[in-house]
Amino acid sequence: MTLISNEIHLQPNLDDVFIICCADTRLTFRGETNKKKKYLKGHKLFKIEYLNGTVSFWGATSLFENNVQKYLSNWLPNFITKRNHHTTLKSFVDDLRSELNRKMYKPFLEKEASGFHFACINPNGVPEFIHFSNCGLDASTGNYGNIINEFREPQEDFLKRDVFEFNWNGDPKTYTAVPGISLYRNGSIKAHSAAWSKLDEAYRTLFLYPDFKYPDGNVNADIIKFTRQKLLFISSLYNSWAQTKIVGAPWDIIILRKKNYSVHSRPNTST
């Protein structure tokens, strides 16, 4: 499996809006008994420079091209480079979905809940989030069902649905959104769901003390450090208690902004 997340942080000023995109790097082969082969590493989060956006994936990790099996970690960067004619996130998403539905191994895909996340700050400074998957999620259990052997139509979750919760319609000219966070996560989300908001509560209490420094939301390095620390706690839960350790460090993190664009953090160590 994996764990990927995207957090859209709406601010009082549209120019200050940012998105935190995260993915773990553990590739798990659950039928493998050899530990060295069962737990491998591969990147699942990639920057789309020409769209000031990102793409990440969870679930299935490979496809077939010219009868050769290829890891998405290796195939996806090449696809991004070759498809640099796209000018909107939605057109890129549609293109990738069509390609994947031609090349994913359908007998495997119909058994493995899988999907893709897409995020960007578009040229108008408006945040976007789109996803597609081959399954549905039972929010009460955190389990996936209704799995099919192809990816369903993309869903524009933020601009077509969640944006209205912030008293805004997505128009940059009328930006008066209520500040807040719109969170999207997929993969093995049980530990993330159980702990993420509680970690935020714990840190808010800690940062009330004058001898602790509150992370600066305008400084990418502070955001990355704060986010990685929480993510390392999540991965420690899997390392310590999960029967199959399907989520693990190191973590890739990309910060998307209208100004200065992104900061991409991809550590070489487990921290």
* Interatomic CA distance for residues 4 and 229, integer angstroms: 15
In this structure, what token pair is assigned to residue 260?
């200065």
Interval 195-229: pLDDT, tens: 999 999 999 999 999 999 988 888 899 999 999 99
Task: Give the pLDDT confidence score for residue 266 in this predicted structure.
Answer: 65
The stretch 152-174 carries a mean pLDDT of 97
* Interatomic CA distance for residues 46 and 75, integer angstroms: 11
**Distances, alpha carbon 35 to alpha carbons 31, 125, 226, 237, 243, in Å:** 11, 45, 31, 19, 13
- Which residue from 81, 47, 75 is spatially nearest to 61, judged by alpha carbons? 75
Give the mean pLDDT of the chain.
Answer: 90
String of DSSP letters for 221-270:
HHHHHHHHHHHHHHHHHHHHH-SS----S-EEEEEEESSS--EEE--SS-
Domains of the chain plus CATH, in order, are 3-265 (3.60.20.10)
pTM > 0.85: yes
Interval 72-107: pLDDT, tens: 999 999 999 999 999 999 999 999 999 999 999 999
* Interatomic CA distance for residues 138 and 47, integer angstroms: 30
Strands (E), the chain: 3-10, 18-24, 26-28, 39-41, 45-48, 53-58, 62-65, 68-71, 115-121, 127-133, 136-138, 143-145, 180-187, 251-257, 263-265
With a cut of 60, say whether residue 63 has pLDDT above it. yes
